[in-house]
Amino acid sequence: MATEALKLDNVKKNFAGTEIIRGLNLSVTKNERHAVIGPNGAGKSTAYNLITGRYQVSSGRVFLNGEDITNLEPYEVKRKGLSRSFQITNIFPKMSVFENVRCSLLWAMGYKYSFWKMVGNQTALNEDAEKIIEELNLKDRRNTLAGVLSYAEQRALEIGITIAGGSEVILLDEPTAGMSVSETEYIVGLIRKVTEGKTLLVVEHDMGVVFDLADRISVLVYGEIIATGTPTEVKENQAVQEAYLGAAMEEH
Amino acid sequence: MQKSVFSSALPWIFAAAILIVLPFIFTGGGSITIMNQIGITIVLAMSYNMLLGQGGMLSFGHAVYMGIGGFVAVHVMNIVENEYLWLPLPFLPLVGGLVGLGFATIVGSFSTRKAGTVFAMISLGIGELIAACCIIITVFFGGEEGISGDRTMAPSTFGIEFISQKEVYFLIAFWVLLSIFVMYLFTQTPVGKMANAVRDNPERAEFVGYSQRWVRYVSFCGAGFFAGVAGALFAINYEILTEQNLNTVMSFQVLLATYIGGVGFFLGPVFGAVLFTILQTVIGLQTDLWALYTGIVFVLMVMFLPTGLTGLFAMHLIPLQLGRLGMLIKPYAKIFVPGLAFVVGSIALIELINHVRHHGEEQFMTLFWIEFDTTSFLPWALFLIMLGVGFYVSRVFAKEVAEAWGEATFVEGERR
């Protein structure tokens, strides 16, 4: 139990009577890199939204490090140490790269709703923000408004916002979607670097990235996990071949 | 990284110096009255921008917090006059602020749950509600005549009794500077930074650990406080408050002033408050159509200059940094004459029509210091030609301005 960073226990979700997630069981071991794959519309993003409190689950439980986090508000989930990125870039467009990162650090560093401390004077906060920007390779874009960054840079910032504050469990939603080969390499390298020693759950369509990055893979089809295992096991699984992987692998 | 204390204090010292010198430059009683009005509007517009510009909350009822703060301030003034309470006048804005804060604490507890339409509608509803209460609850609001007091009856502050407008000016100036300073500090706090984040992307703000509702609530209460300060300053300056100080018309005026100045910049509302008050008072003395002109300025701003006056200044920083501001002088100079002809022609025509419609019995009217006969054909034709030709030539030259602008701001390989 203790080694399970994230556990979904028979989670279900109905939208207007239609069952989108039909009993999801998933367990992510501490410090592993776990990928979720599956065809479009399988419910991968919905599963993320259920875990992080963006949607309310219809039934079932979600556990973070053994603690029940079912139906908590997104900010409560984040405070418990789970952080996520989004499939569609979700940053603070009218703020500089630096401010984006610094804001993402505030709660984790204990500032809460303080209106009596000046952020400019908080040495540790500012140093941490600079460090993350350096890790993201965005140093020369430090003062640029996030909204005018290139797509790949925005995706990098998206990951930066997600990992800032040192959450133990990181959920990434299609981090390399829409990227060129070299951009994908940059992002995968970045993910590897910043999730060192953390638990990573990643939804990804690029099978090259998935098999390269993941320790274990779960296959989600029509709201259910049909298989979980190491990349080799999943590749050889007959059900997976039929449902998804055959078609997906041919593309590559 | 850290700037020295002196260099960060410099702009504030400079601002204080300007505020001290101003009444010795504009010495007329009229100009001091206008400056007092500007000061009050600055505090109100700056507090409004804590909501709109920094927090992304569009309020249609911000005057309520100013009004309630002001009404209580007048009541307190009367209590002080009757010697039930000892309170020197310079501290009265603090009372107004606390009242504004208190009322915002109540309203904000349910109105800040969502931004956008829900927040805007609640603010409008509260605004209408309080304006209606104003007429009904006469004990507190005094009905249509409002409530009046006498500021000079407060205990004197170092021998100052605040009898003259100039003395009041310094009281207002002090509070303007203090309010702007504190509001600036607020933008530099964790919750002030998160207000921007929630404005930009409330959902993402939740995923970095902040409740969007609480972040809005804190800004909302702060805005309520400074609106209350503005209300008390109003009470001190005019010694009377009526329903007009907190109704929807007033709320829209705050919105106008703030928007004209530029919501995206911290000091934007200051410029907006100055321009708006001058439109209201100086132009208001010249023509009864001032509200029309303000409306036209507002519409043009929203359409062509959504970043406001401050945005217009800020735009020119790019060519300035590139050392290409000179490239713009010639096209600007070229468009100035036809542009001016168009503006003057339009205003003259509007005024002429207004004069004939409402003062038709007077044959002569004075416009731009020139008296002429409204029944003759000449002024009509002249103004029409100015308007038409001015418009046409401006449009032609506008293309040159646009081209010059593109050239002056073009940087190889960089997107703006």
Helix B5-25 crosses helix B165-187 at what angle (to 10 degrees)? 150
Angle at B47 between CA B46 and CA B48, to 5 degrees: 90
* Same domain (yes/no): B47, B178: yes
Q: Is B147 exposed, middle or buried (0-12, 13-18, 19+ CB in 10 A)?
A: buried
Res. B312: pLDDT tops 70: yes
* Same domain (yes/no): B248, B353: no
Res. B350: pLDDT tops 60: yes
Which of A100, A102, A106, A126 best probes binding to B when mutated, by most B CB atoms within 10 angstroms?
A106
Instruction: Give the count of domains, chain B.
Output: 2
A118: helix, strand or coil: coil
Res. A237: pLDDT tops 70: yes
Beta carbons within 10 angstroms of residue A226's beta carbon: 18
Give the per-residue pLDDT at B416: 43
* Same domain (yes/no): B221, B349: no
Give the per-residue pLDDT at B110: 95
* Same domain (yes/no): B169, B63: yes
Percentage of chain A exceeding pLDDT 70: 96
Give the per-residue pLDDT at B74: 96
The more confidently predicted of residues A43 and A243 is A43
Res. A247: pLDDT tops 70: no
Boundary of a domain, candidates B250, B273, B296: B273
Nearest by CB to A107, from B192, B208, B415: name it.
Answer: B208
**Interface confidence (ipTM) of the complex:** 0.92
A228: helix, strand or coil: strand
* Same domain (yes/no): B322, B261: no
Give the per-residue pLDDT at B224: 97
Res. B412: pLDDT tops 80: no
Residues of B in contact with A113 (CB under 8 A): 190-191, 194, 210, 214-215, 218
Query: Is the CA virtual torsion B39, B45, B47, B53 positive or negative?
Result: negative
The more confidently predicted of residues A126 and B317 is A126
| Residues A39-50, mean pLDDT to the nearest whole number | 90
* Same domain (yes/no): B156, B32: yes
pLDDT tens digit sequence for A19-29: 889 999 999 99
CA-based nearest residue in chain A for residue B219: A115
Quick check: B197 and A165 CB within 8 A? no
Quick check: A92 and B189 CB within 8 A? no
| Residues B79-104, mean pLDDT to the nearest whole number | 94
pTM: 0.91
Quick check: B189 and A114 CB within 8 A? yes
| Residues A170-184, mean pLDDT to the nearest whole number | 91
For residues B190 and B375, give the distance between their C-alpha atoms in angstroms, rounded to a whole number: 65
| Residues B206-231, mean pLDDT to the nearest whole number | 97
CATH of the domain at B76: 1.10.3470
Res. A78: pLDDT tops 80: yes
Judged by a CB distance cut-off of 8 A, whether residue B190 touches chain A is: yes
Q: Which amino acid is at B120?
A: A
* Same domain (yes/no): B141, B199: yes
Res. B301: pLDDT tops 90: no
* Same domain (yes/no): B146, B247: yes
Give the per-residue pLDDT at B3: 59
Q: Which has the minimum average pLDDT: A1-5, B111-115, B196-200, B393-397?
A: A1-5
Give the per-residue pLDDT at A246: 64
Give the per-residue pLDDT at A1: 46
Judged by a CB distance cut-off of 8 A, whether residue B218 touches chain A is: yes
Give the per-residue pLDDT at A250: 56
Residues of B in contact with A106 (CB under 8 A): 190, 193-194, 208-210
Judged by a CB distance cut-off of 8 A, whether residue B414 touches chain A is: no
| Residues B81-110, mean pLDDT to the nearest whole number | 94
* Same domain (yes/no): B249, B325: no
Quickly state the pLDDT bin for B376 (edges 50, 70, 90): confident
pLDDT tens digit sequence for B33-69: 999 999 999 999 999 999 999 999 999 999 999 999 9
The more confidently predicted of residues B229 and B151 is B229
* Same domain (yes/no): B217, B77: yes
Boundary of a domain, candidates B214, B238, B273: B273
Contact call for residues A75 and B194 (beta carbons, < 8 A): no
Average pLDDT, rounded, for chain B: 89
Nearest by CB to B192, from A92, A93, A115: name it.
Answer: A115
Q: Is residue B167 part of a domain?
A: yes
Q: Which has the minimum average pLDDT: B27-36, B122-131, B172-181, B367-376?
A: B367-376
Nearest by CB to B209, from A92, A102, A108: name it.
Answer: A108
* Same domain (yes/no): B268, B320: no
Res. A154: pLDDT tops 80: yes
User: How far is A238 from chain B, CA to nearest CA, in Å?
Assistant: 38
Q: Is residue B234 part of a domain?
A: yes
Q: Is residue B309 part of a domain?
A: no
CB within 8 Å of A97: residues ≥ 6 apart = A133, A138, A141, A142, A143, A144, A146, A149, A157
Q: By residue range, what is the domain housing residue B185? A: 9-273
Residues of B in contact with A75 (CB under 8 A): 206-207, 209-211
Q: Is residue B368 part of a domain?
A: yes
Q: What residues form DSSP beta bridges with A13?
A: A21
Chain B 220-279, residues with CB within 8 Å of chain A CB atoms: 222, 264
CA-based nearest residue in chain B for residue A90: B204
Sketch out chain A's domains with CATH numbers. 1-81+200-252 (3.40.50.300)
User: How far is B341 from chain A, CA to nearest CA, in Å?
Assistant: 38
* Same domain (yes/no): B83, B185: yes
Give the per-residue pLDDT at B1: 43
pLDDT tens digit sequence for B252-274: 999 999 999 999 899 999 999 99
| Residues B302-331, mean pLDDT to the nearest whole number | 86
First to last CA, chain B: 27
Boundary of a domain, candidates B273, B303, B335: B273
Please state, in angstroms and as integers, the Cα–Cα distance from residue B171 to each residue in B35, B90, B177, B236, following that order: 12, 6, 10, 9
Quickly state the pLDDT bin for A141 (edges 50, 70, 90): very high
Residues of B in contact with A165 (CB under 8 A): 208-209
Nearest by CB to B201, from A52, A90, A102: name it.
Answer: A90
CB within 8 Å of B9: residues ≥ 6 apart = none
Q: Is residue B149 part of a domain?
A: yes
Res. B329: pLDDT tops 80: yes
Give the per-residue pLDDT at B173: 96
Q: Is residue B362 part of a domain?
A: yes
